[in-house]
Structure 1
Amino acid sequence: MKINHLTSAEENLMKLFWDLNSFYLKDVMEKHAEPKPHQNTVSTYLKILVEKGYLSTEKEGRIFKYTVQVPIEDYKKFLLRELSHQFFNDSGKEILEILFKENLIFQEDLKDYFDLKIEMKPVKIKSPTLEYAEEILNPKKDKKGKDKKKKKKKD
């Protein structure tokens, strides 16, 4: 089954529909968060989502029962593939690098997926040089063991 793109409004409604799985229009109106959209608006989106293949309908008397046809997991995979293709040249490695750098995923998260020992190399941070602090804390001594002091001219 080919999955089509959704608008943000369609996605928001689909999130509710994925929770409900099978529902009537009145169920959507009851479960929708405030501010509730007009019933005609929801009906229009339901019709669009049926045309796109996300929902199916079954007529029961004078009303329709809607059922989700595209599981949320399939939609997530579709979005991730699209993101990878559009922005990362189909490179999962680039995506993982960003996820690690942004602390959205950790080494522990991957242990269940790999039978390998993965060791993350910590990012090398250049330590500051403390030249002046070293001179003050550990002054150089001359051969006789005396501190070197700058001679000041007396006026």
Structure 2
Amino acid sequence: MKELTKAEEQVMQIVWELKKTSVRDVVAKFPEPKPAYTTVATVMNALEKKGFTDKIPAGKSHLFSVKIPKDEYSGYKAGSLVNNYFNGSFSRMASFFAKDNKLSIQELEEMIEIAKREINKEK
């Protein structure tokens, strides 16, 4: 899977929220000052080329629909984080967050339970 740039990720967050959308609708979701229509259109075309969206003709315009779900990309990014910064060790990542972010025991236990459920799903 290809990595998204910061601009692509900002736009994709909106596309994930709207599911199927036009460039105009994406621009409208941005806070002020809004980016230029042409800038957003360029980013959305790049997302389609990277395989994150499908481009659907709609009259004189196009709609873009989600092709790669948010949870799939989130999983990819989380795996990349663990591999690139924690040598592939989930326990090292959990330890880091426990120390630096002062996670509570309850939050750590929740992380362990979630990991166990996911591992059991794969079996």
The TM-score bracket by the shorter chain reads 0.7 to 0.9
Work out which of the residue numbers 56, 60, 63 in structure 2 matches 1:62: 60
Asked if 1:113 corresponds to 2:113, the answer is: yes
Q: Who is 1:46 aligned against?
A: 44
Structure 1 SS opposite 2:56 = strand
Q: RMSD of aligned C-alpha atoms? A: 1.7
Aligned 1:24-39 pairs, distance under 5 A: 24-39=22-37
Percent identity between matched residues is 28
TM-score by length of 2: 0.82
Work out which of the residue numbers 10, 22, 29 in structure 1 matches 2:20: 22
Work out which of the residue numbers 87, 93, 116 in structure 1 matches 2:85: 87
What count of residue pairs does the alignment treat as equivalent? 112
Structure 1 SS opposite 2:113 = coil
Structure with more relative contact order (C-alpha pairs < 8 Å, separation 6 or more): 2
Q: State the one-letter code of the partner of 2:68.
A: V
Structure 2 SS opposite 1:29 = helix
Q: State the one-letter code of the partner of 2:55.
A: T
Q: Who is 2:11 aligned against?
A: 13
Cα distance, 1:105 vs structure 2: 3.3
CA deviation profile, 1:19-69 (whole Å, cap 9, x unmatched): 111111221122221111111111110110001111111102211111011
Q: State the one-letter code of the partner of 2:93.
A: I
Structure 1 alignment gaps of length 5 or more:
115-155
In the TM superposition, structure 1's runs of 4+ consecutive aligned residues that sit over 6 Å from their partners are none
Cα distance, 1:104 vs structure 2: 5.2
Asked if 1:99 corresponds to 2:93, the answer is: no
Higher helix share: 2
CA deviation profile, 1:69-112 (whole Å, cap 9, x unmatched): 11211111111111111111101110010111123533213258
Q: Who is 1:149 aligned against?
A: none
TM-score by length of 1: 0.66
* Larger gyration radius, structure 1 or structure 2: 1
